[in-house]
Structure 1
């Protein structure tokens, strides 16, 4: 068993297709308030906010690592 990194509750993981879902001890899907608020606070970028030059720079950096 592993622990939720947000609330510390013991959970296990269930693979459904290609997705892993956190499951509590009673078999229900684990969704704590700390996890939900953390996922909402992630800053999201719009594709149109980057210029083509910036996108090219990021792609080159990704390809160099490989």
Structure 2
């Protein structure tokens, strides 16, 4: 068993279609308020705050061949 990185509850991972879903010991899907709060707090970049040079740099990095 593994632990949720946000609330430290014991969870297991089950395959549901193509996704891995965290499941608690009683078989219900694990959702915790700590995870929801953490995802809300991630910094989001608005496209208008970036300069055209920065956007071009990101596009080049995406399109660059390996």
The alignment's TM-score, normalised by the length of structure 2, stands at 0.74
Q: Which residue of 1 aligns with 2:20?
A: 20
In 1, Cα distance between equivalents of 2:38 and 2:51: 28
The size of the alignment, in residue pairs, is 65
Q: Which residue of 2 aligns with 1:60?
A: 60
Q: Are residues 1:31 and 2:27 paired?
A: no
**Could you report, residue by residue, the CA deviation over 1:4-60 in whole angstroms, capped at 9, with x for unpaired residues?**
111111111122223221110111111112111111111112233323321111233
After TM superposition, the structure 1 stretch with the greater mean CA deviation from structure 2, 7-16 or 49-58, is 49-58
The alignment's TM-score, normalised by the length of structure 1, stands at 0.74
Structure 1 vs Structure 2 CA RMSD? 2.0
